A = this chain, B = another copy of it.
C-alpha cells in the first residue's frame, strides 16, 4: 500500500513534499495573504454600516448592536404593536440573508437530516398563525439598577411587544425529521437548539439558544418558524427570512435569522443559554456566582407595567386614569389586574382588554385600564405612588418589591410596577 501511494506523489499536498510542493506552497501563501487583507478590510469596515433604517420614535438603548423599546406612549394602545414600532433586541449585527440561497438545516440525534429552502417551508408544511407577545428577559431592568448596579441594557417598560406571526409549526418540521415526544425520550434528546445567522465578526460565533424538547414537539405549545409578521414579510430587524417564535417563553429563545435546528441531549452551550439569561438570589453577585446553579430562563413569570401616567406626570386630584399591560409566560391567561394610588393599601380592579385565546394557550398580553381614586393623604413630597399588580390563571401574582428579587444580570423583574406622580392643584 505504501509503494502505491509513493508512486503516485502528484496527489500529495505541498506540505508533504510532493512534486508540485514548491508551486503549491507559493500559491497557498498568496491565497492566505489575500484572505488576510480581505479580513483586515472587513474588520476596519463598520459591521453595522448596512443596518436597516428604523423609525425615530423607537426609544434607542444602544445603536450597535441596535436595541430599542416600543415608545411607552403607544405601548398599551392596542393588542398588536405596529411592526415598525415592535421592540428590537439584537446581540450582533443584522445579517443580510439571500432568500434564494437561504437554507434551514434540521439535524441531531436520531433525526433524519433536513435541508429546507424558504420555498420548502412555505409549500411543504401547513401555515399557522399565532398572536404572541415577546418580551426581553431584561424588560424593566432599570428599576433593578436603582436598587443596586446590574449588567445589562437599561430597559424601561417597553422591551415587550405583540405581533401576529405566521409560519410553520416547529413540531411539524421535527415530526418530518422523525422526532416526537416518545422518540425524543428514546433517543435521549432533551433540548432543541436554534442557531442564527447573526455572527460576531471577531469570533465567528453566531447567536444560539435552546428550548426543552417537550416544548419543541408539543403541538399545543404553538412554537413557530415564522416568515410573516402582522401579515407581511418578516422585516430584517425581526429575523428575515425565518425566525423562531416560542410563545410564552423569554424572548432570547425566539432566535432570529435561524439557519440550524439541532436536537440533542444538552442545552445550547452559548453564553446566552449558560450565563446571561438566568436569575439568582440577591445574595449572589459577580464574586460568588455559580452559573450552573440556576436553570436558563424559559417560561416567564407574571408581570405588568403602568404605561400611563408616566413618572413625574401631573395628575388631577380626584381620580387618575391608569393604563398598562400585563403578561404571564407559559400560556397562562391574566385573570385580574389591581391598581392602587396609595402605595398598595387600597386597590381598584382594572378593566381588562384581551383577544380570544384557547385555554392554557394565552400567548398574547392583556391590556388594562382603571379609574383610581387619588388619596387625600399624600407622601411627604406631595407625590402619590401608583402601583399595579397582575394575577394569572395559576393565581401567581407579582412580588411586592424589587430588592428581594434583585439579581446580578437584572433579569425578569416582575415586582409590582410603581410610578410616582405629582398631584396638580385644583384647576391647574
CA distance A159 to B295 in the complex (A): 29
Q: Does A214 contact B (CB under 8 A)?
A: yes
Interface string of A391-417 (1 = CB under 8 A from B): 101111111110011000000101000
> Could you say which residues of chain B place their CB within 8 Å of the CB of A215?
360
Is A309 an interface residue when CB atoms closer than 8 A count as contact?
A: no
Q: How many copies does the complex hold?
A: 2
Contacting B at CB under 8 A, from A257-296, are: 279-284, 294-295
With A347-B404, A360-B212, A404-B344 given, is the CB distance from A395 to B302 under 8 Å? Answer: no
Binds B, one of A164-172, A232-240, A330-338: A330-338
Query: Are A283 and B347 neighbours in the complex by a CB distance under 8 Å?
Result: yes
Do residues A281 and B190 form an inter-chain contact, with CB atoms below 8 A?
no
Known interface pairs A360-B214, A399-B399. Does A394 touch B283 (Cβ–Cβ under 8 Å)? no
CB neighbours (8 Å) of A283 from chain B are: 338, 346-349
Cβ distance A281 to chain B, nearest Cβ, rounded Å: 5
Point out the residues of chain B lying under 8 angstroms from A404, CB to CB: 338, 344, 347, 389, 397, 400
- Which of A295, A335, A397, A405 is most buried by chain B, counting CB atoms within 10 A of its CB? A397
The docked-state distance in angstroms from the alpha carbon of A399 to that of B281 is 15
Identity of the chain B residue whose Cβ is nearest the Cβ of A344 in the assembled complex: B404
Tell whether A251 is near chain B: CB-to-CB under 8 Å.
no
Interface size on A (CB < 8 Å)? 47
A156 in the interface (beta carbon within 8 A): no
Q: Is the interface of A mostly helix, strand, loop or mixed?
A: loop
Check if B398 sits within 8 Å of A330, measured CB to CB.
no
* Contact with A397, one of B181, B393, B399 (Cβ below 8 angstroms): B399
Shortest Cβ gap from A169 to chain B (Å): 15
Our pick among B220, B298, B335 for the contact of A294 (Cβ within 8 Å) is B335
A301 in contact (CB, < 8 A): yes
Complex CA–CA separation, A403 to B239 (angstroms)? 45
Q: Is A299 an interface position by the 8 A CB rule?
A: yes
Asked if A297 is at the interface (CB within 8 A of a chain B CB), the reply is yes
Across the interface, name the chain B residue whose C-beta is closest to A389.
Answer: B404
Q: Is the CB of B394 within 8 A of A214?
A: no
A329 at the A/B interface (Cβ < 8 Å)?
yes
Provide the bound-state CA to CA distance between A283 and B372, in Å.
Answer: 13
Answer yes or no: A359 CB below 8 A from chain B CBs. Answer: yes
Interface centre among A212, A299, A348, A389 (most CB of B within 10 A): A299
Find chain B residues with CB under 8 A from A295 CB.
Answer: 335, 393
A-B contact pairs, 13 of them (CB 8 A): A212-B360, A214-B359, A280-B336, A282-B338, A283-B346, A297-B395, A299-B393, A338-B404, A389-B404, A395-B412, A395-B414, A396-B414, A397-B399
- Given A301-B395, A389-B404, A396-B396, 10 extra CB contacts under 8 A: A212-B360, A281-B347, A284-B349, A294-B335, A299-B393, A347-B404, A397-B399, A399-B400, A400-B401, A400-B404
